[in-house]
Amino acid sequence: MPGPNAAAEAMRSTGSPRGGERHDVRVVCAPGLERVVVSELAALGLAARRPGQGVVPVQMSTRELYLATASLRSAARVLVSAARFRAATFAELERGAAEVPWGDWLRPGQPVRWRVTSHRAPLFHTGAVAERLAAVVGSGPAEPGATDVQSVVVRIVGADAVVRVDAAGAPLHQRGWRLRPAQAPLRETLAAAALLASGWRTDEPLVDPFCGSGTIAIEAALMARRAAPGLQRGFAFQGWPSFAPGTWASVREALRGALRVDGPSPTIVATDRDRAAIDATRANAERAGVAGDIEVRRSSLSALVDPAPGRTGWLLTNPPWGGRLGGAGDLRDLYAALGTVAGTRLPGWGVALIAADPRLAGHTHLGLEPRLRTRSGGALVHLLVREAVGRSGG
């Protein structure tokens, strides 16, 4: 990816990011995206520890916490460790909870959404655990529709409890620009992970012939603009009593200063045969501030043409799955047609498909290789990639 991205630029522009309080942080992602998250953290100058399934541990300063929460594209949540204590009984749970410095993260009476899990533990009734914690903390209930709610994650394994506070609030895939979802919308974090892992560079042409609500094209345009994904939304940490508004203001200023506001944009084309999908893409791109960076048009796959003659780019798309198109035979034909179009209209281009069934992707005859495996909407999905001519590694 040529040139510094917004997050790396912000890290350099906000003074010494490593001073002040240190936080033990768990960056949560969809299982299978850990390597992408580790690479994103490395771009911020943060060295992650050994990842687990769907979680990447890392130490952060307060500044780094704010920056990472606003900048990570493929992560789902950012959890800050608050305490660890013995909780073999409810009495121990209450004693340990009473010693947690809740005033750093919660205001008196603030509603809390307790997310409790228990594994091989004497305290197996998660609802009862949440009730005891709420009583100790004095938190209000998380009523449906309430906006001032802090999520707290409590994991009990055996006789030990770990408490972590959600720094993001709403999941990080909620960028703030999605207005009109099309059928089976692709999650923003998965689209970003596919772009980051595929090998696409932000100065290269990109085509998505099954654009749906435009998620891949919009995420690509935001990456090309060096726009941090969290610039258009708020975060839970802004409501913490320990919130440092000056630090957050400087991080936001640096992220805005890193935006590319002039110069040529890469060619990004989003097409779909469905009118509702095209309308959704245009509306979402407008809200994301990248409507002028994406060529959006209603078109069938068979009408796809090379949008940048003489240049090599990428076709990156999320083709219809079984639930989105009737019949396995139809899907085999669709993938075969996709392979023909990519091979004849976009010779030498890289191809990356987000597919639920690698066997179907084999009907493209493009020599696609697995790059990522994760889940989307509960379904196992794969990122399958054929490198562009003259390129290797993603």
Domain limits of the chain? 6-166, 188-227+261-386
Calpha distance 25→22 (Å, rounded): 9
**Residue 236 has which token pair?**
């839970």
Q: Is 255 helix (H, G, I), strand (E, B) or coil?
A: helix
The pLDDT, as a whole number, for residue 141 is: 87
Calpha distance 13→330 (Å, rounded): 52
Kind and range of the H or E run holding 269: strand 268-272
Per-residue model confidence as pLDDT tens digits over 277-308 = 999 999 999 999 999 999 999 999 999 999 99
At position 325, the amino acid (one-letter code) is L
Instruction: Report whether 71 contacts 27 (CB < 8 A).
Output: no
User: Residue 180: pLDDT band by 50, 70, 90 thresholds?
Assistant: low
Calpha distance 190→75 (Å, rounded): 9
Question: Residue 278: which of 302, 265, 295, 290 has the closest Cα?
Answer: 295
User: What fold is seen in the domain 188-227+261-386?
Assistant: Rossmann fold (3.40.50)
At position 27, the amino acid (one-letter code) is V
The pLDDT, as a whole number, for residue 1 is: 38
**Would you give the DSSP letter of residue 356?**
S
* 107-111 average pLDDT score: 94
Least confident of 128-142, 172-186, 213-227, 378-392: 172-186
pLDDT over 70, % of the chain: 90
Q: Is 8 helix (H, G, I), strand (E, B) or coil?
A: helix
Please give the model's pTM, rounded to 2 decimal places. 0.91
**Would you give the DSSP letter of residue 97?**
H
The pLDDT, as a whole number, for residue 302 is: 96
Least confident of 10-19, 106-115, 201-210, 275-284: 10-19
More confident position, 178 or 106: 106
Domain 6-166, classified CATH 3.30.230.10, yes or no: no
Instruction: Report whether 39 contacts 292 (CB < 8 A).
Output: no
H-type alpha helices, the chain: 6-13, 34-43, 62-71, 90-98, 126-137, 188-198, 215-224, 245-257, 275-288, 328-345, 358-361
CA distances from 350 to 241, 370, 387 (A): 48, 14, 5
Does pLDDT of 257 surpass 80? yes
User: Residue 147: pLDDT band by 50, 70, 90 thresholds?
Assistant: confident
Per-residue model confidence as pLDDT tens digits over 322-377 = 655 555 568 999 999 999 999 999 999 999 999 999 999 999 999 999 999 999 88
CB atoms within 10 A of CB 89: 12
Kind and range of the H or E run holding 174: none
